[in-house]
Amino acid sequence: MGTSVITTKKIAVILGVVAVIAGGVFVTMVLQGGRSGKVSRSPERLVFAVAALLDSVPVLVAHHQGFFVQQGLDVEIKFYSAGKDALAAVRRGEADFATVADFPIMLAALDGADIRVLATISKSGRENSIVARKDSGITVPAHIRGKVVGVIPGTTSEFFLDEFLVMHGIPRSDIVVVELTPGETVNALLSKRVDAVSTWGQHAADLLKGLGDNSIRFFAQETYQMYWNIVASRNFVAGHRDTVQKVVTALDQANSSIRNNADGAKKTAMEAFRVDPAQLREVWPDYEFDLALDHTLLLTLESQARWAMKQNRTTVREVPNFQEFIYADALRRIKPAAVSVMR
């Protein structure tokens, strides 16, 4: 019996020592976690609807370089052919964020969409252009008169065309407009179904390559600079402000990375979009990658809204207060000087 008692005492002592050691390890882990500011938890899963255009490169860089992961986010990228389609995914609840140009944002706002612009991630005055066939008799802007021009409705293609016509004093009634999807623009012009198209980015590059010396391209950056933005629904922003802050922070890191390592960003773009390296080098200077919320974005949206009313594209008869569609708090916290929209 004495041996049994001694054994029991030994076991009790051993268990006590183990408990003290385990407790010490636990406390050490907690203290270390507190000092590093990191808490072990599962990353937050998000869906990002991304238009497959060079303007969206900051999102791809943030994903590829792990900036989203560093913010505790598990981001799934879903590609769409145009920003309006990416925005539609957010409106349907199929994505949390979208990349989209100013024009579809304006149309969505007039349509009653409760969305918020979180930041502009890139700008370009040469993203949109008119690509035409020389053998259709087009060598200068005035030659567009009487020609068949393809346009992608509900996108910057449509607004840009009218800006171009006004700039050159050509009434819209002097051309024949054919509505196309983004994927139809290349074949429509190459097959001579249309004489010119109002298009953007890679589609324009493919047309210039396909037509060779038979192509000519017109810009109108003097009157229209396109803003490429990150958008989420109002409800999502209201319920996930910390998440929005993390996304905006990751995108700011991505744009810094693009400026410091343009070759790496180009490689990411080539892998994602299968862009020809020579084409990419040529167009890369056309894009300004920087996070901002400019007051000129509001002016652009207002101008586009007046255009939509004039064209009877909406039953709304007053220009909305587009400030209500801006959520600037996240960007203001990390880059206050980048926010010039009025409160």
Per DSSP, the three-state class of 169 is: coil
In a domain, 306, yes or no: yes
pLDDT tops 60 at residue 205: yes
Region 141-146: what's the mean pLDDT?
97
Q: What is the predicted pLDDT for the residue at 40?
A: 54
Residue 173, pLDDT above cutoff 60: yes
Token readout for 118 is 């979180």
214 part of a folded domain: yes
Domain shared by 330 and 241, yes or no: yes
Mean pLDDT of the 201-224 span: 89
Count of structural domains, the chain: 2
- More confident position, 116 or 209: 116
Q: What is the mean pLDDT of residues 194-199?
A: 97
Nearest-angstrom CA–CA distance, 182 and 327 = 30
- Considering the domain boundaries, does residue 310 fall inside one? yes
Identify whether residues 238 and 329 lie together within a single domain: yes
Q: Are residues 236 and 119 in the same domain?
A: yes
Domain carrying residue 270: 44-124+226-338
Pick the last residue of a domain from 218, 250, 275: 218
The answer on 256 and 289 residing in a single domain is: yes
- 34-87 per-position pLDDT tens digit: 444 444 568 899 999 999 999 999 999 999 999 999 999 999 999 999 999 999
Among 293, 304, 295, CA closest to 157: 304
What is each CA distance from 38 to 29, 31, 71, 233, 333, in whole angstroms?
11, 11, 11, 29, 21
pLDDT above 90 covers a percentage of the chain that reads 78
Q: Which of 185-194, 215-224, 235-244, 293-302 has the lowest mean pLDDT?
A: 215-224
Q: Are 118 and 190 members of one domain?
A: no
**Cβ neighbours of residue 240 under 8 Å, at least 6 residues apart?**
96
d(Cα 264, Cα 280) in Å, to the nearest integer?
13
| Dist CA 336 CA 255 (whole Å) | 16
H-state helical runs in 100-184: 102-110, 156-167
Please check whether residues 321 and 259 belong to one and the same domain. yes
pLDDT given for residue 11 in this prediction: 47
Q: 116 versus 275: which is more confidently predicted?
A: 116
Residues 6+ apart with CB under 8 A from 250: 62, 67, 68, 70, 71, 73
Alpha helix segments (H runs only) across the chain: 2-36, 57-64, 67-70, 83-91, 102-110, 156-167, 185-190, 201-211, 234-239, 241-260, 262-273, 277-283, 295-310, 329-334
Distances (CA, A) of 270 to 91, 261, 267: 29, 15, 5
Burial class (CB in 10 A: 0-12, 13-18, 19+), 276: middle
Of 184, 218, 252, the residue that ends a domain is 218
**pLDDT on residue 313:** 87
The predicted structure's pLDDT at residue 137: 97
Return the exposure string of 62-89: e unless at least 16 CB atoms fall within 10 Å of the residue's CB, then b.
Answer: bbbbebbeebebebebebbebbbbbbbb
| Per-residue pLDDT at 174 exceeds 80 | yes
Q: What is the pLDDT of residue 298?
A: 96
Report the alpha-carbon distance of residue 74 to residue 26 in Å, rounded. 28
**In a shared domain, residues 159 and 202:** yes
User: Same domain for 188 and 306?
Assistant: no
Residues 118 and 134 in one domain: no
Tell me if 190 is assigned to some domain.
Answer: yes
Is 5 part of a structural domain of the chain?
no
Q: What is the CATH number of the domain that holds 75?
A: 3.40.190.10
Residue after which a domain boundary falls, among 165, 195, 218? 218
The answer as to whether 104 is a domain residue is yes
Distances in whole angstroms, Cα of residue 156 to Cα of each of 76, 84, 115, 256:
26, 9, 18, 27
Does the pLDDT of residue 301 top 70, yes or no? yes
The residue written with tokens 């991630």 in the block is 121
E strand or H helix at 318, and its extent?
none
* Pair (115, 164) in one structural domain: no
Whether 84 maps to a domain, the answer reads yes
pLDDT at position 33? 46
Q: Does some domain include residue 322?
A: yes
User: In sequence order, what are the residues at sequence separation of 6 or more whose Cβ sits closer than 8 angstroms to the Cβ of residue 70?
Assistant: 250, 253
